[in-house]
Amino acid sequence: MKFDTSPIAAIATAPGRGGIGVVRVSGKDLSPVIEAVCGLASGKQLQPRHATYLSFLNDDGSIIDQGLAIHFKAPHSYTGEDVLELQGHGGPVVLQMLLARCLQAGAGIGLRLAEPGEFTYRAYLNDKLDLAQAEAVADLIDASTEAAAKSATQSLSGEFSKTINALVQKVINLRMLVEATLDFPEEEIDFLEKSNARGQLAAIRASLEHVFSQASQGALLREGLNVVLAGQPNVGKSSLLNALAGSDVAIVTPIAGTTRDKVTETIQLHGIPLNIIDTAGIRELDSHGDEVERIGIQRTWAEVERADVIMHMLDAARGPTRADEEIAARFPANVPVVRVWNKIDLSGHKPAAEEQADATHVYLSASERTGVDLLRNELLRIAGWQQTGESLYLARERHLIALKQARFHLDAAAEHAATSDQALDLFAEELRLAQERLNSITGEFTPDDLLGVIFSRFCIGK
């Protein structure tokens, strides 16, 4: 991003009609806009953080709308700058007029339209939010399930950042110890023994694992699980979808896969969005096939390649057939497969789940809804879901990657610590790299303010 720092304005509420709508302005000093739009005598101000009911005025004095004006004075605002919020009636035309009026009144101070995310970007620049919190703002707005919203709030409130910062602090403490020793080479010899550096490192690695598991669970809530449902016609795929969803109406947000068919449905499992791709749709399309459809089919198969799990449904009463084998032959090699044997009410099988060499087999009846929980558990197991009751962080892929890289460096540090020559400088370097990766999560690139920490907290002369 390379935004300038001129004042910005935008309609903050969703497009369309609503009871109220909000125009938000942020900048270093907004008095010209406030005076003009709110009709205040020159030099007069709105009482900060108080809602004042007044008329929003055009430059000819005519009234655009009546509503509430709130002035948040810097730094006590969302962006950390002066913020003016004008709450008027939520019609698209009236809000556009109000926005245009603000831009006109602010022309002298360089007021311009805000870019997407720019208010939050300023909040980040002004230290109102760190990077992970800023991301959580977007995630909360985008949350598609209650569980996802809850964990976004958790990240937004700074819980995730706090955990990361605590981890960083532990790494810093260990680095301080090591780097102090590096200055006195004769002390290196039994440093690792005396200082319990290995113990500290082990504790750090354990904390990282814990954060990582919470973050991956959160990422699951955010990204969901891509599930391919494959099987011959009439084996009971639609019935299974309904059974998984719990009721027929629980099938939410159908996504149009291609022009003519509906290939993906999203249902929820413990708040995890399951994006279910029905390959039946693909095979039906295979038979006709103009160019557009063929591209659609290719795309869908590409999605199958990226699936997290494949449910291959078979008729337990009929037993496996050649057509079943042909379907299975199209599955990508390294995606876990659950073989779902349906209609056990006809076959006389008992509901069961068993692990076998190539796949897990689950026996159930979709229409009788027996054994469906076994399948649910199996999907959650494959997803790596753990019911911890702990609050989760709605982590992003970026966070997971950073955590994995930090883990890589901590592992390397552990290896250096394990060797007999105790390569302390390499040990220290890996710790530094791990810290850097962790810092990237909250956006704090503070490479060598570490020195400052060392000198302020550690008495070298002793």
Residue 370 is a binding residue for Zn ion (CB under 5 A)? no
Q: Contact, 267 vs 245, CB < 8 A?
A: yes
Q: Contact, 137 vs 129, CB < 8 A?
A: yes
Dihedrals phi, psi of 354, to nearest 5 degrees = -140, 145
**Residues 236 to 255: which contact ligand GDP by CB under 6 A?**
236-239
Q: Which is nearer to Zn ion, 37 or 267 (CB)?
A: 267
Residue 261 is a binding residue for ligand GDP (CB under 6 A)? no
Name the segment binding Zn ion (CB under 5 A); options: 79-87, 233-241, 349-357, 433-441. 233-241
Q: Which is nearer to ligand GDP, 343 or 432 (CB)?
A: 343
367 touches which of Zn ion, ligand GDP, none (CB within 5 to 8 A by kind)?
Answer: ligand GDP
Q: Which residues have CB under 8 Å from 253's CB, separation 6+?
A: 144, 265, 266
Determine the Cα–Cα distance for residues 78 and 131; give it in Å rounded to an integer. 14
Residue 346 is a binding residue for ligand GDP (CB under 6 A)? yes
Residue 312 is a binding residue for ligand GDP (CB under 6 A)? no
Through-space distance between the first and last CA atoms of the chain, rounded to whole angstroms: 47
Residue 347 is a binding residue for ligand GDP (CB under 6 A)? no
Task: Name residue 204's amino acid.
Answer: I
Q: Contact, 314 vs 340, CB < 8 A?
A: yes
Q: Which is nearer to ligand GDP, 54 or 317 (CB)?
A: 317
Q: Burial letters for 210-245: b for 16+ Cβ neighbours within 10 Å, e otherwise?
A: ebbbbbbbbbbbbbbbbbbbbbbeebbbbbbbbbbb
Residue 366 is a binding residue for ligand GDP (CB under 6 A)? yes
Q: Minimum CB separation from ligand GDP for residue 373, in Å? A: 14
Q: Which is nearer to ligand GDP, 135 or 265 (CB)?
A: 265
Determine the Cα–Cα distance for residues 210 and 163; give it in Å rounded to an integer. 10
Q: Minimum CB separation from Zn ion for residue 238, in Å? A: 3
Torsion sign over Cα 346, 349, 355, 357: negative
Q: Which residue is nearest to ligand GDP (CB)?
A: 236
Torsional class of 182: left (φ above 0), alpha (ψ -120 to 50), beta (otherwise):
alpha
Determine the Cα–Cα distance for residues 424 and 428; give it in Å rounded to an integer. 6
Binding residues for GTP: 234-239, 253-259, 278-281
Q: Which is nearer to ligand GDP, 73 or 376 (CB)?
A: 376
Binding residues for K(+): 234, 253, 255, 258
368 touches which of ligand GDP, Zn ion, none (CB within 5 to 8 A by kind)?
Answer: ligand GDP
Indicate which single residue of 31, 238, 258, 266 sits in contact with Zn ion (rule: CB under 5 A): 238
Stretch 401-440: interaction string toward ligand GDP, x if CB under 6 A: ----------------------------------------
Q: Which residue has the tokens 């992970």?
A: 132
Indicate which single residue of 368, 411, 429, 444 sits in contact with ligand GDP (rule: CB under 6 A): 368
Torsional class of 271: left (φ above 0), alpha (ψ -120 to 50), beta (otherwise):
left
Interface contacts to ligand GDP, rule CB under 6 A: 231, 233-239, 342-343, 345-346, 365-368
Interface contacts to Zn ion, rule CB under 5 A: 237-238
